[in-house]
Chains A and B, each alone.
Chain A
Amino acid sequence: MIKKKVTIKNSAGLHARPSAQLVKLASKFKSDFYIHSYGYRVNGKSILGVMTLAAEYGAELELELDGADEEEALEAIIEAVENKFGMKDE
C-alpha cells in the first residue's frame, strides 16, 4: 500500500467534471483507491464518494492505493491532479 498527499489546483475545486475524470482514470487500474480528506475516507472509484468530498481549491487530499498496479496508478492520478484534470482554468 502506498500513500501520497496532493493539493487540488482547479480554481473551482473538484467539481462534477474533474470528479468524473478522476473516477474514470482510477477505475482503469486494478488497485483499490481511497482518498482521505479532513477526517473522511472515500472510495476514489466512486463518483458519489468523490463528490461528497466537495474538495475546493487548495484542499489537501491523501491518496491511498493498494494493489498490483499501485505505483503506476498513483503516478497517473498525481499527474492528472497536477494537470487540473485537463480543464482550462475556469
Chain B
Amino acid sequence: MSTAKTQEYTIQGKPAASGIAIGKAVIINSESKTITPTSIKKKEAADHKERFLESKKNLTAKLEEMSGELKDTTTAEIIDTQQQIIQDPEIEKSVFDIIDNKLLSVDFAIYQTYCTFIERLKESGSELFRQRIIDLEDIRDQFIAEVCDQKNLKSIKKGSIIITREISPTDLVSYYEDGATGLIMEKGGTTAHAAIIAKSLGMPCIVNAKRATKEAVKNETIILNADEGMVILRPSDKTVKSYKAKLKAQKKASKLTCSNDFETTDGVSFKLMANIEFEAELDNAAKSGSQGVGLLRTEGLLFGKRVRNSPAEQQEFYEQIVAGTEGPVTIRLFDIGGDKNARRPHKEANPFLGWRGIRLLLDEKKLLRNQLQAILTVAGKYPGRVKVLVPMISVIDEVRQIRNEIEKIQKDLLSSGMDIDEKVPLGLMVEVPSVALSAYQFAKEVDFMSIGSNDLTQYTLAVDRGNERIHTLFQHYHPSVLKLIKMTVDGARKADVEISVCGELAGDEIGVACLFGFGIKELSMVPSSVPTINKLLCSKSSEEFTELANQAIELSSSEELEQLYGEWK
C-alpha cells in the first residue's frame, strides 16, 4: 500500500497550540468517511456481526448517557425513538444478511441498510416521516463511527502524537492522560474546541493539516512543529537530530521564570486568570503564573466517556479545582447547545440561536438545581473563593430567575446545617449583543460581568466560527466588536460591577491591548498565553493602552487595527 512512502514529507497546517513534539503516529478515525464496499472472508463474518452487536450496545449506552439528566418529555420521546431505531430488528436482519451473504464489511452493511430504509421512507411520501430522515442519517453515521472506533480502540503509548480528522475534548483529555504529546487535526479552525483544550494542556497542536490521516503511517516516527504549523512525516535522521536539539533548547527556555509583576510601567495592576475545563489543566494553569480560574467550563461533566453529573460527583470535581488553585474560581453553569454537544437529540435549524445555555437550564430545572447545589456547597466550604457565571443571557428576566434559584438552594443548605457563602457573587456572560447594548441595565442585576468574546463576535458579525468557508470573517477584534465591549465596560462601571473578558480575545495581543485600554483589568485566557500577555501589559503605561483603544474603535476594519497596532507596538 505505501511502497513509495519513504521520502521525508511535510504537511502544512495552521498552528493552534505552540510547541514541538517528536513521537509515534497514532491515527484515529472518529468520523465516517465515504463508505465503500470492502470484501471480507467467510470466516471473518462472525467477527463483523459481533462488531455490529457491540456497537449497538455502545450506541444505546451512549444515547442514554448523552441525555444525561435532560429528561423532559419531548427529549425522552425523541431518545426513545432513536433507541428503537438502533434496536430495530429489521436493521439487524439486513446488516447480517449483507455480511453473511454478500461478504461485505460491517461498516458498509450498516451504511447500505440505512440508505435502503431512507430511500423507502422518502418513497412513502409522508411529509412527517421525511422530517425524520435527517435523524436516520445521523444515527447511521454514529453507528458507522462506532464500528470504526472499535477497530481503532487501542490504548496509546506514552509519547504518541494523535492524528485525526477531528476529536472531542473529552477524548483528547483521556489521550493526554494516557501520555499523548501532540495533536494533528485535518479539520477545524484554531478556535475548534479540541484545539483550545490542546493549547490549555500545553500540547502542541495544528489544525487544517490536509490528508494527514491518509499520508501518515501508524507507529512511524513523526515530528510535529506546531510553532510553524507543520508536521514532518518520515523524517530523515538528520531532521530528527536537529529537532531533538530544538526540543531540548525549548524545554530549557520554558524553565526561565516569567516576571510576576502584573503591573504596567506606571504601576496599574491587573489580573490574569486561566480558562480551564479539566483537572488535568490545573498544573499548566499554576505553572503559567495565572492568579486563579477566570472560567471553569463544566460541560465536560455531562458528555463523553466520563460522565460525572450527580451532585456528589460534581461537588468533588468543583472542590478539586478550588483546592487545586489559590485564587478565585469562576464556575460557569452548563453551557449546552450550539456546537458544544453536536449529538443532542433535538435537531435545530439554528442551534446557535436556539435552545442553549441559560435557556436550556431554565427548562431543565433538575439539571440546574443539581449543579447549583454542588457549586453552592463548595462555595460554603471555601467562602470568598467561588463565583457563579451564567452563560447565554439575552434578557434580564433570566438573571432574576437564576438569582431566585440560588436563594432557594442557599436557604435549603442553611436549614440542613451546611455552611454557605452568603455573598457568593453571581455574574453573567456578555455574549449576546442585547446585553452589551443595555449593559447598565443588566449590570445592575449582577455582581460581575464576563465578556465571552467568541460568541459576542459570532453574534455581532453573524459568523459561525466553526464554518471553515467563512472563518476569515471571524475577527474578534473587529472595531464593531470592540465598540460593544466598550459599551459594556461603560455600563458596568456606571453600575459599579466588576468586568472581565474570558474569550480568546483575552489571549490575543492586539485584543488585550485594546481591552486593557478600555479599562478591563481582569483577563482570563488559556494558561499558555499568560506569560506573553503579562509581558505585553508590563511593557507599556496604562495611558498608552488607552490611547490605542480610543483610536481602535474609530477604525473601520480589523486590518486597519493590525496596522495601527504594528506602529503602536
Contact = CB atoms under 8 A, between A and B. Distances in A.
Contact of A53 (B84, B89, B117, B124): B124
Interface string B112-132: 000001001101111011001
Contacts of B121: 48, 51-52
Contacts of B567: none
A48 B90 CA distance: 8
Contact of A45 (B80, B89, B124, B125): B89
B85 A48 contact: yes
Contacts of A17: 77, 81
Contacts, number: 58
Q: Which of B117, B123, B129, B136 neighbours the largest number of chain A CB atoms within 10 Å of its CB?
A: B129
B237 interface: no
B396 to A, nearest CB: 36
A45 B89 CA distance: 7
B80 A20 contact: yes
Given A20-B77, A52-B117, A13 B85 contact: no
A84 interface: no
Contacts of A48: 85, 88, 90-91, 117, 120-121, 136
A14 to B, nearest CB: 9
B128 A16 contact: yes
Interface string A40-83: 00110111110111101000000000000000000000000000
Interface residues of B, number: 20
A12 interface: yes
Contacts of A45: 89
B129 A49 contact: no
Contacts of A20: 77, 80-81, 84
B79 to A, nearest CB: 11
A54 B129 contact: yes
A51 B129 contact: yes
Contact of B84 (A12, A24, A56): A24
Given A20-B81, A47-B81, A52-B121, A12 B128 contact: yes
Given A20-B81, A20-B84, A23-B84, A13 B90 contact: no
A35 to B, nearest CB: 12
A53 B126 CA distance: 9
A36 interface: no
Given A20-B81, A23-B84, A56-B126, A51 B132 contact: yes
A15 B124 CA distance: 12
B135 to A, nearest CB: 9
Contacts of B81: 16-17, 20, 47
A20 to B, nearest CB: 5
B117 A15 contact: no
Interface in A1-35: 12-13, 15-17, 20, 23-24
Contacts of A52: 117, 120-121, 123-124, 129
Contacts of B84: 20, 23-24, 47
Nearest to B84: A47
B129 A46 contact: no
Interface string B71-107: 0000001001100110011110000000000000000
Contacts of B123: 52
Nearest to B136: A48
B463 to A, nearest CB: 34
B90 A46 contact: yes
Contact of A43 (B80, B90, B124, B128): B90
Given A20-B81, A51-B132, A52-B117, A46 B88 contact: yes
B200 to A, nearest CB: 42
Nearest to A19: B81
A39 B147 CA distance: 36
A40 B136 CA distance: 21
A13 B128 contact: yes
Nearest to B113: A48
A6 B126 CA distance: 20
Contacts of A24: 80, 84
Contacts of B125: 54
Contacts of B88: 46-49
Nearest to B80: A20
Interface in B123-168: 123-126, 128-129, 132, 136
A43 to B, nearest CB: 5
B77 A54 contact: no
Contacts of A46: 88-91
B35 to A, nearest CB: 19
A23 B87 CA distance: 11
Interface of B: 77, 80-81, 84-85, 88-91, 117, 120-121, 123-126, 128-129, 132, 136
Given A47-B85, A51-B121, 14 more contacts: A15-B129, A16-B81, A20-B81, A24-B80, A45-B89, A48-B117, A48-B120, A51-B124, A51-B129, A51-B132, A52-B120, A52-B121, A54-B124, A54-B125
8 contacts: A13-B128, A16-B81, A43-B89, A45-B89, A46-B91, A47-B85, A48-B90, A49-B90
